[in-house]
Chains A and B, each alone.
Chain A
Amino acid sequence: MDINPKRPLDARTFRAKLEGQSGKQYWRSLEELADTPEFREFLFDEVPQHTRSFDIQGMDRRRFLTLAGASLALAGLSGCRWLPAKKVVPAAEQSEDRVISIANIYATSVIEHGLATGVWVTSNEGRPTRIEGNPEHPASLGSNSSTVQATLLDLYDPDRSQTVSNLGSISNWPAFLETMRSALAETKDGTGLRILTETVTSPTLTHQIKALLAKYPGAKWHQYEPCGRDNVVNGAKAAFGQPVNTLYDFSKADRILSLDADFLLSMPGHIRYSRDFAVKRRVRSEEISAEQPKKLEMSRFYMVESCPSITGTMADHRLPLRASQVEALARAVAGALGVDAGAAALPAGVPQPWFDAMIADLKTANGASIVLTGDHQPPAVHVLCHAINAALGNVGKTVNYTDPVESQPVDQLASLRQLVDDHKIDGAVKILLILGGNPVYNAPVDLEFGHLLDTTRLTAHLSMHEDETSARCQWHLPEAHALEAWSDARAYDGTLSIVQPLIAPLYEGAHSTLELVSALTGPMPNSYDLVYDYWTAQKPAPDFEKWWQKSLHDGVIKNSAFPTKAFPLNPAAAKATVTPAIDDKGLELLLLPDPTVRDGRFANNGWMQELPKPLTKLTWDNAALMSQATAEKLGLAPSIGGLTVADEKVVEFVIGGRKLKIPVLALPGHPDDAVTIHLGYGRTHVGKIGTGTGFNGYLLCTTAAPYFAGGMKATNTGDTYPLAHTRSHHSMEGRDILMEGTLAEFLLHPEFAKTEATTTPEIPVDDKQIEPAESGKGKRLSLYDAQDHEYKTDENAFAYSWGLSIDNNVCIGCNACVTACQNENNIPIVGKDQVQRGREMHWIRIDRYYRGPISNPHTFFEPVTCMHCENAPCEPVCPVAATVHSMEGLNQMVYNRCVGTRYCSNNCPYKVRRFNFYKYTAGQPDPDKLNGNNDSLVLQLLSNPDVTVRGRGVMEKCSYCVQRINHARTTAKKEGRAIKDGEVVTACQQSCPTQAIVFGDIADKTTLVSKLKALPTDYTMLGELNTRPRTSYLARLRNPNPNIEADVKNGPDTPVVE
């Protein structure tokens, strides 16, 4: 394939395309929208760019035959092998509840930014193999996020540090503790000892730190985390005079205005918020279940955002606005609602009619609305939101206040600055103990944190990896993973849970923060004793032991959430708190945590690196995101380039004398004249996976402007950089595969999603091809022979027909299902190079579609699994019958039969089949980079024992988690009953925060999935092909304000700003 990388894509091309269209047209990438010849050519390649790795075109006949013959012979031979002699090694003593082949499940919590998310961890023979949500925990309700699940891979990361090291040479804990204790003894009262932690909510750790500070009154405790909640804390202090925790109840909110708050992916409690948000978005023309009653209303959601986020895609009305303009809008909203907030003009880009209609709409909600803002917005915006919610009467209804969940809620940036300043002024810092975190990498650059470490007498860093901070500290101490040590923590609403480990530390030298703090004042303790003793002293219940066991069993301490309190709002705060204007010349820079690797803590996590970012679909890198118009203005319009390997222009950004070279990516819906750079990349010391990926945005982060700043300049360096994205992979060539409409449309035509394209066409009765109607088959026109699947009949409850329903209306595109599937089904990562060739292995992908102008398009997600077609096109083309149908309607993939012709994949209209071009599970083709070389046996501990690990040359795809079906079937059979509805839960379904995915028996009309499939908005993708997919979708609905979007049928609802 010859690609000309020089041709620019410009607005004229897009405008011409968009103007020429009638009705709804969806596009996934700018290339597709431009519909260039290169894109068309790209579509013909099933797995693009294979020619780059193997030049078959330049080969002569003789060599081709040689290779073909050799392949045939080797393929035959490689099929023969001896079964290796195996050993069975029973333990000397075995506890009764540990049975090999029966997994145990334990309740514990995963801690992110100090906050607990309750989880159930599956343990196979003592190995934690799967993290699922804990239904009893308020922050989870049984669901999960991709990062919570990815912490499991961190446990087995072969790059974890395993020993104590001192100045680069291996040492041990006694040596460190001796050094530390003697240094402490020298200080007498601890003067000069500074402890730096991340956010702490753990009561036991707080107790330990306070005990340490009591013993050494001269010592000080600092906290710092990047992308923290300083603005939230400071905003609450300004509004209420004290730090306050704000909780939102989206399940009661009819109108939502988000002023740049990504509450579905980034905010504390986002998993719970997603669940609650979906409650108000779901539309049901029938009662489905107790949780899903008949409901023909939706909430209306307005979103103003500075960088397109998954939350923004759910909005009924979305406006791109630069981060610095949000405060003016917030002030205008406050003013319009009668808050004394000072004068504010509506920022350019917010149309007055839009604003007026929105204000009127908010007023109608009558205490059932929410106005909220993001953690990166300055305190003034938070104050305004508190005042707005009070003015709207939301407080006590949809917006509740409690005491802060952090043990010591502080302005963390100020705390860190104080640490650095103290040392600068009089060298006050003598001993610096950094417990977790990575400040050398992620502290604002102007603090020169590394310099502090270089000039401090004794420095030590406890962390899971030997990272940037470890490299600058004298001592590095390996940290125990959360699944290896005891602890406790609070959730976003204050609910307490005990964190119990599932495995002893994989590396003997690893200890937790809790153990280390305690070891400073006494012998090295066991974390269990610390947590147990703390809670014994608290005496939370008369029957303590019973309470303790129950708390451990449930994974949550009952009734420990903070009670809702009324905090008096300072009426003058809204007017008094004003953020100084930023430099409005040049570009505006916005720094946000990355959607997958977050603030950099998942940089060495292969699952997170390869997870396509929800909107850019970028993997393994970050990029400077800007609007297409801004890119054109700067002469940086992205080239058409390769469609999987996008060679993007590398630009040097300069702000305040600080420079960063980074490739530019145009993102539809991004506000103009602004650039978003996601943090967490460009790490130098982390491990094989993360080192050298992406570009370090922290280099532009300063204490003055940790989140956004103005006055940035851009220069095109003339270089290009290849980015691996999946935005055009598995394209289905613009067929009508996404169904979407408004609530009004739905109420008029409930079956609007059942179009010609999504419905299997019926043929006239007199057509000769028709089979006798009584056979129950062949009544519909088909490309394929009607297959003889014996599906369940009403009289036999023990034959099942499995099917899946995906509710696009509540799919928020958060990727939790993708990681869940990767974990459950032993799906390998393949590396950047292979992603560039379109060879990523995810069994479930989330297609992202745009409709409307590129300046502010509507964005839709559609998760695509194997459809398990009843007339599966993949099956007849397999020469070795490696993919065949089961009695229960599963399209089975038999790995040990597959010879790798890939005909099935070619014939799959949904592009859901994945091929092992290499032995990816062993880290091929790049074991040094992908951590999968045979030395890293530790990664094999992660494997789910119920799923075959696939080798090279084998096709694979979504199996509907058949191992879970078999498990449920065996259990039910042994109990002499049929499988109950809801007993088989697929991994994707289990993790979904909005419960958009439902699996079950479609032959039984009383199951949840059958009821969902009977809804009028149900449609099948490419139904016209008569593949009869078992996976079907519920159409996406929007609920636009009729005063803003007058004509719901035609065209975009917002003006095109170009």
Chain B
Amino acid sequence: MAQIFHHSANIAMRVSIVGAGLLTAGLIAAGVGISRSPWNTKVGIPKDQPVPFSHEHHAVELGVDCRYCHTNVEKAAWVQLPPTQTCYTCHSQIWTNSPLLEPVRTSYSEKLPIKGGWNQLNAVPDFVYFNHSIHVNRGVNCNTCHGPIQKEMLAYKGKAFFMSWCLNCHRNPENFVNPGGAKHVFSLYEKYQTDVPLTPEESTIANGNDYQRNKAELARGEQTLKEYKVQTKQLTDCSVCHH
């Protein structure tokens, strides 16, 4: 009986086995790549908003404190987006005829929210309970999670908010906490606005990049944790964020 397959079929088989392996690996890599790409995570992609609000103009050029609009960031879980009233503290006097501010004026005169609402940039799923106030009170800078927000003309998402990224800090808080709590957080922006030179750590963070502390800095971080009485192991309990 003649052989069914020609001798060359051996090669074809070997190639296909290796090829299948490579294809699988490629597909997985592609999947991971897609899932981590800005196309999926939306990191760095500004969203259209009803009013083209510029953080750079307000926070840096005009020197408005973060807390002027985000009033409860030190007190509450949810950081406040300002009511129209807040816009009107200034815009009742300046740029009163700007067509860009039309939605603000309509909202204020009709006492209704800005039409269409703001498109949310940063969100965690409903089963995650994130509290801004405790992070700010532990000296974690806004930029650590929100990227170079003070430099953004149109705001965009600064970090992808993967759970592993959350855990990176919850496992190694000594790399992120700062003494002085909220005071520390907002002093960075005062320095930034007044062109006081920033430390390498501060400038890295302010540019929206991750900073790895050196040994001495980590030791200081450990000391800060002790002062804050942070139970580091407790930070990774599931129910800290999921309940």
Contact = CB atoms under 8 A, between A and B. Distances in A.
Interface in B186-224: none
A296 to B, nearest CB: 40
A88 B80 CA distance: 10
A966 B131 CA distance: 10
Contacts of B107: 92
B243 A974 contact: no
B83 A94 contact: yes
A887 to B, nearest CB: 4
B80 to A, nearest CB: 7
Nearest to B231: A799
B127 interface: yes
B234 A887 contact: yes
Interface string B224-243: 00001101011001111011
B233 A948 contact: no
Given A90-B113, A92-B111, A884-B238, A966 B129 contact: yes
B243 A962 contact: yes
Interface string B115-144: 011111001011101010110010000000
A948 B127 contact: yes
B120 A102 contact: no
B127 A896 contact: yes
A83 B118 CA distance: 16
A89 B113 contact: yes
Interface string A787-804: 000100000111100000
A842 to B, nearest CB: 18
Which of A90, A102, A892 lies at the interface centre, i.e. has the most chain B CB atoms within 10 A of its CB?
A90
A799 B234 contact: yes
A46 interface: no
B243 A963 contact: yes
B146 to A, nearest CB: 15
Contacts of A549: none
Contacts of B112: 92
A836 to B, nearest CB: 31
Contact of B237 (A89, A796, A888): A888
A348 interface: no
A7 interface: no
Contacts of B28: none
A970 interface: yes
Given A973-B137, A974-B133, A87 B238 contact: no
Contacts of B242: 892, 894-896, 948
Interface stretch (B14-22, B52-60, B71-79, B165-173): B71-79
Nearest to B82: A90
A890 B137 contact: no
Contacts of B120: 85-88
Contacts of B133: 970, 974
Given A85-B119, A966-B239, A970-B134, A90 B78 contact: no
A790 B118 contact: no
Interface in B61-115: 72, 75-78, 80-85, 107-108, 110-114
Given A894-B242, A946-B129, A948-B126, A974 B119 contact: no
A88 B118 contact: yes
A106 B126 CA distance: 27
Interface string A959-991: 100110110001001100010000000000000
B239 A892 contact: yes
B119 A798 contact: no
Nearest to B161: A83
Interface in A934-951: 946-949
A92 B234 contact: no
B187 to A, nearest CB: 18
Contacts of A99: 72, 75-76, 80
- The A interface, classified by DSSP as helix, strand, loop or mixed, is loop
B98 to A, nearest CB: 18
Interface string A743-781: 000000000000000000000000000000000000000
A101 interface: yes
B75 A798 contact: no
Contacts of A83: 123, 125
A948 B243 contact: yes
Contacts of A790: 233
Contacts of A796: 231
- The B interface, classified by DSSP as helix, strand, loop or mixed, is loop
Contacts of B243: 946-948, 959, 962-963, 966
A102 B118 contact: no
Contacts of A894: 238, 242
Interface in A552-576: none
A450 B238 CA distance: 59
Contact of A93 (B72, B111, B137): B111
Give chain B's interface residue range (CB within 8 Å of chain A): 35 or more
Contacts of A101: 72, 76-78
Contacts of B111: 92-93
A637 B97 CA distance: 85
Given A87-B117, A89-B117, A959-B239, A888 B72 contact: no
B85 A94 contact: yes
A824 to B, nearest CB: 11
B76 to A, nearest CB: 5
A54 B114 CA distance: 51
Contacts of B234: 799, 886-888
Contacts of A799: 231, 234
B16 to A, nearest CB: 25
A16 interface: no
A1046 interface: no
Contacts of B113: 89-92
A77 interface: no
A100 B81 CA distance: 10
A973 B81 contact: no
Contacts of B131: 970
Contacts of A892: 237-239, 242
Contacts of A91: 83-84, 113
A83 B35 CA distance: 13
Contact of A92 (B76, B84, B123, B237): B84
A86 B123 contact: yes
B34 to A, nearest CB: 12
A886 B241 CA distance: 12
A698 to B, nearest CB: 44
B225 to A, nearest CB: 11
B80 A90 contact: yes
Contacts of A896: 125, 127, 242
Which of B116, B119, B129, B228 lies at the interface centre, i.e. has the most chain A CB atoms within 10 A of its CB?
B129
B134 A90 contact: no
Contacts of A966: 129, 239-240, 243
A87 B76 contact: no
Contacts of A87: 116-120
A92 B85 contact: yes
Given A85-B120, A99-B72, A973-B228, A895 B80 contact: no
Given A90-B118, A894-B238, A978-B229, 11 more contacts: A83-B123, A83-B125, A87-B116, A87-B118, A91-B84, A92-B114, A93-B83, A99-B72, A887-B234, A947-B243, A970-B133
The 10 A-B residue pairs whose C-beta atoms are closest, nearest first, are A101-B78, A87-B117, A89-B117, A886-B237, A101-B77, A798-B229, A94-B83, A887-B234, A86-B120, A92-B84
Interface of B: 72, 75-78, 80-85, 107-108, 110-114, 116-120, 123, 125-127, 129, 131, 133-134, 137, 228-229, 231, 233-234, 237-240, 242-243
Interface of A: 83, 85-94, 99-102, 790, 796-799, 884, 886-888, 890, 892, 894-896, 946-949, 959, 962-963, 965-966, 970, 973-974, 978
28 contacts: A85-B119, A87-B116, A89-B113, A90-B113, A92-B84, A92-B108, A92-B111, A92-B112, A94-B85, A99-B76, A99-B80, A100-B76, A790-B233, A798-B231, A799-B231, A887-B231, A887-B237, A888-B234, A888-B237, A890-B239, A892-B237, A894-B238, A946-B129, A962-B239, A962-B243, A970-B131, A970-B133, A973-B137
